[in-house]
């Protein structure tokens, strides 16, 4: 199996690209989805959140992911503390998913924190979806209905996109039209020997 780590900044276009890859028949492990699952399966995480933030992050007893996201995006220290609790569990579940998909030729791990949380160490190939900051802010504001300042805070709370580009084996530039992005992606897939499975 060839493990491909896919990453990029917030609203860079990872999901858009993943949808295209899934249509080609590639199996994708979504780290964000796994993070949500982890919140459901480990009651101790709920206990930790309740103890740390109180009722602010719960609505009628159910975790309010948006409220949690606000705290975590705004405060680096809180983010690091939270990641230290949740990441080992996410990693375990990611490994389990890879094992379940062991017969696949290519499996993608879609992980916004691929480099930050060192998922890349277990990947054979890494790809960063790059987007210029102006386009990124515009898309983020539109998609999440955010004011520019909020969007900027979220973008700037992350690892610099250029750093991700430096660390990765391949880059797909999604600053322009989607059709050009997909053409670039096709070239990368060719370079890594990907054959259309369908
Ligand atoms: P996140 O990590 O925040 O979930 P993401 O990297 O998965 O984001 P997407 O959700 O795929 O990013 O894209 C962000 C937004 O930009 C979406 O609303 C998507 O429809 C739009 N978008 C993606 N690519 C393009 C493009 N080339 N041109 C215009 N809009 C785009």
Q: Average pLDDT of the chain? A: 91
| Tens of pLDDT, residues 125-171 | 999 999 999 999 999 999 999 999 999 998 998 889 999 999 999 99
Is residue 7 within 8 Å of 112, Cβ to Cβ?
Answer: yes
C-alpha 129 – ligand 1 centre gap (Å): 10
Rounded Cα gap, residues 96 and 179, in angstroms: 34
C-alpha 60 – ligand 1 centre gap (Å): 31
Give phi and psi for 45, each to the nearest 5: -70, -40
Partners of 6 in the β-ladder: 110, 127
In this prediction, residue 198 carries a pLDDT of 44
| Tens of pLDDT, residues 76-114 | 888 888 888 899 999 999 999 999 999 999 999 999 999
Q: What is the DSSP string of 156-193?
A: HTSPPHHHHHHH-SEEEE-SS-HHHHHHHHHHHHHHTT
Q: Helix, strand, or coil here: 171?
A: strand
Q: Is the CB of 128 under 6 A from ligand 1?
A: no
Indicate the pTM of the whole model: 0.88
∠ CA 35-41-42, rounded to 5°: 90
Count of C-beta atoms within a 10 Å radius of residue 99: 9
In this prediction, residue 196 carries a pLDDT of 59
Closest ligand 1 atom number to CA of residue 112: 2
Partners of 130 in the β-ladder: 173
C-alpha 87 – ligand 1 centre gap (Å): 24
Q: Is the CB of 8 under 6 A from ligand 1?
A: yes
Which residue owns the Cα nearest ligand 1 atom 11?
13
């Amino acid at each position: 199996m060839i493990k491909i780590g896919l990453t990029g900044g917030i609203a860079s276009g990872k999901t858009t690209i993943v949808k295209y890859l899934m249509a080609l028949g590639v199996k994708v492990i979504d780290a964000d989805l796994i993070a949500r699952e982890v919140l459901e399966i480990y009651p101790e995480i709920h206990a930790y959140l309740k103890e740390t933030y109180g009722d602010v992050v719960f609505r009628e007893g159910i975790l309010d992911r948006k409220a949690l996201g606000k705290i975590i995006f705004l405060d680096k220290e809180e983010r690091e503390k939270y990641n230290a609790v949740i990441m080992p569990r996410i990693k375990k579940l990611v490994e389990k998913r890879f094992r379940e998909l062991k017969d696949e030729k290519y499996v993608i791990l879609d992980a916004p924190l691929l480099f930050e949380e060192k998922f890349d160490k277990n990947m054979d190939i890494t790809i960063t979806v790059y987007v210029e900051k102006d386009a990124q802010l515009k898309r983020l504001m539109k998609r999440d209905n955010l004011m520019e300042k909020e969007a900027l805070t979220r973008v700037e709370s992350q690892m610099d996109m250029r750093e991700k580009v430096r660390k990765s084996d391949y880059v797909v530039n999604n600053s322009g039209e989607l059709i050009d992005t997909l053409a670039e992606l096709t070239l990368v897939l060719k370079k890594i020997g990907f054959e259309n499975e369908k």
